[in-house]
Chain A
Amino acid sequence: MAGVTAATAHRRRAHGAFAGRPWGVAPTALLLLGAIYCLFPVFWVLIAATKSPGELFSTPTLAFGTGFFDNVAELFAYRDGVFWLWAANTLIYAGGGALLSTAVSAVSGYALAKYRFPGRNAIFNLLIGGILVPAVVLAIPQYLLFSQIGLADSHWAVLLPQILHPYGIYLARVYAAAAIPDSLLEAGRIDGAGEGHLMTRVALPLMVPGMVTIFLFQFVAIWNNFLLPFIMLGDDQKFPLTVGLFTLLQAGANQPALYNLILTGALLSIVPLIALFLTMQRYWKTDLSSGAVK
Chain B
Amino acid sequence: MRANRLGAALAVALSVTCVSGALVSCGSGEPAGSPEAAPETAAPQGPVKLTYWAWAPNMDKIVKVWNAANPDIQVTVSKQAGGDDAAAKYLTAAKAGNPPDLVQAEYQHLPSFIAADAVADLKAETAPIKGEFSDGLWNLVTLGTDAVYGVPQDSGPMMLFYRKDLFDKYGIEVPETWQDYAEAARTVRKKDPKAYLGTFSSKDPGAFTGLAQQAGAQWWSISGESWKVNVADEPTRKVADYWGGLVKEGAIDDMPYFTPEWNKALNDGKLLTWPSAVWAPGVLSSNAPKAKGKWAVAPLPQWNAGENFSGFWGGSSTAVSARTPHKAAATKFATWLNTDQEAIDLLVKEAAIYPATTKAQSALGEAPAYFSNQPDFWQQAATVSAGARGFTFGPNVGVTYNAFKDGFDKALQDGTPFSAAVRAMQDVTVADMRKSGFQIAP
A-B interaction: yes
Specify which chain A residues have a CB less than 8 angstroms from the CB of B279 in the assembled complex. 253-254
Which segment of B29-37, B185-193, B350-358 sits at the interface? B350-358
Give the Cβ gap from A55 to chain B, nearest Cβ, in Å. Answer: 9
Give the Cβ gap from A226 to chain B, nearest Cβ, in Å. Answer: 8
28 contacts between A and B (CB under 8 A): A53-B286, A54-B289, A57-B263, A57-B266, A58-B267, A140-B13, A140-B17, A148-B97, A152-B98, A230-B85, A230-B89, A234-B80, A234-B93, A237-B78, A246-B3, A247-B79, A250-B3, A250-B81, A250-B82, A250-B86, A251-B81, A251-B82, A252-B57, A253-B279, A255-B282, A255-B351, A256-B285, A257-B283
Specify which chain B residues have a CB less than 8 angstroms from the CB of A243 in the assembled complex. 81
Known: A147-B97, A148-B23, A251-B55. A257 touches B286 (CB 8 A): yes
Cβ of B283 and Cβ of A231 under 8 Å apart? no
Choice from A140, A252, A259 contacting B92 with Cβ under 8 Å: A140
Cβ of A152 and Cβ of B286 under 8 Å apart? no
Cβ of B352 and Cβ of A57 under 8 Å apart? no
Q: Nearest CB to that of A235 among chain B residues?
A: B78
Q: Nearest CB to that of B95 among chain A residues?
A: A144
Specify which chain A residues have a CB less than 8 angstroms from the CB of B86 in the assembled complex. 250
Query: Once the chains are docked, how many angstroms separate the CA of A11 from the CA of B322?
Result: 65
Query: Once the chains are docked, how many angstroms separate the CA of A289 from the CA of B6?
Result: 44
8 A Cβ contacts from A219-254 to B = 227, 230-231, 234-237, 243, 246-247, 249-254
Known: A144-B23, A254-B279, A256-B283. A247 touches B264 (CB 8 A): no
Known: A254-B154, A254-B282, A257-B283. A234 touches B96 (CB 8 A): no
Choice from A234, A251, A252 contacting B53 with Cβ under 8 Å: A234
- What are the 3 tightest A-B residue pairs by CB atom distance, in nearest-first order? A256-B286, A147-B96, A57-B263
Specify which chain A residues have a CB less than 8 angstroms from the CB of B85 in the assembled complex. 230, 250
Of the listed residues A53, A56, A247, A254, the one surrounded by the most CB atoms of chain B closer than 10 A to its CB is A254
Cβ of A140 and Cβ of B10 under 8 Å apart? yes
If A53-B289, A140-B14, A236-B80 are given as contacts, then 19 extra A-B residue pairs at C-beta distance below 8 Å, sorted by A number, are A57-B264, A58-B290, A79-B60, A140-B17, A143-B96, A148-B96, A148-B97, A235-B78, A236-B78, A237-B78, A246-B81, A251-B55, A251-B82, A253-B156, A254-B57, A254-B282, A256-B282, A256-B285, A257-B283
Give the Cβ gap from B113 to chain A, nearest Cβ, in Å. Answer: 16
Residue B100 interfacial (CB < 8 Å): yes
Residue A31 interfacial (CB < 8 Å): no
Specify which chain B residues have a CB less than 8 angstroms from the CB of A259 in the assembled complex. 286
Q: Nearest CB to that of B12 among chain A residues?
A: A140
Q: Nearest CB to that of A55 among chain B residues?
A: B289
8 A Cβ contacts from B154-171 to A = 154, 156
Of the listed residues B92, B97, B286, B353, the one surrounded by the most CB atoms of chain A closer than 10 A to its CB is B286
Cβ of A58 and Cβ of B354 under 8 Å apart? no
Specify which chain A residues have a CB less than 8 angstroms from the CB of B3 in the assembled complex. 246, 249-250
Known: A57-B287, A231-B89. A247 touches B10 (CB 8 A): no
Residue B224 interfacial (CB < 8 Å): no
Residue B431 interfacial (CB < 8 Å): no
Cβ of A57 and Cβ of B260 under 8 Å apart? yes
Specify which chain A residues have a CB less than 8 angstroms from the CB of B95 in the assembled complex. 144
8 A Cβ contacts from B316-342 to A = none
Specify which chain B residues have a CB less than 8 angstroms from the CB of A257 in the assembled complex. 283, 286-287
Binary per-residue interface labels of chain A (247-288) against chain B in the complex, 1 for a CB within 8 Å, 0 otherwise: 101111111111100000000000000000000000000000
Residue B277 interfacial (CB < 8 Å): yes
Residue B56 interfacial (CB < 8 Å): yes
Specify which chain A residues have a CB less than 8 angstroms from the CB of B267 in the assembled complex. 57-58
Give the Cβ gap from B56 to chain A, nearest Cβ, in Å. Answer: 6
Specify which chain A residues have a CB less than 8 angstroms from the CB of B354 in the assembled complex. 254
Specify which chain A residues have a CB less than 8 angstroms from the CB of B263 in the assembled complex. 56-57
Q: Nearest CB to that of B106 among chain A residues?
A: A252
Binary per-residue interface labels of chain B (4-17) against chain A in the complex, 1 for a CB within 8 Å, 0 otherwise: 00100010011001
8 A Cβ contacts from A23-38 to B = none
Q: Nearest CB to that of B14 among chain A residues?
A: A140
Residue B343 interfacial (CB < 8 Å): no
Residue B383 interfacial (CB < 8 Å): no
Cβ of A234 and Cβ of B23 under 8 Å apart? no
Query: Once the chains are docked, how many angstroms separate the CA of A148 from the CA of B57?
Result: 32
Query: Once the chains are docked, how many angstroms separate the CA of A237 from the CA of B85?
Result: 19
Specify which chain A residues have a CB less than 8 angstroms from the CB of B78 in the assembled complex. 234-237
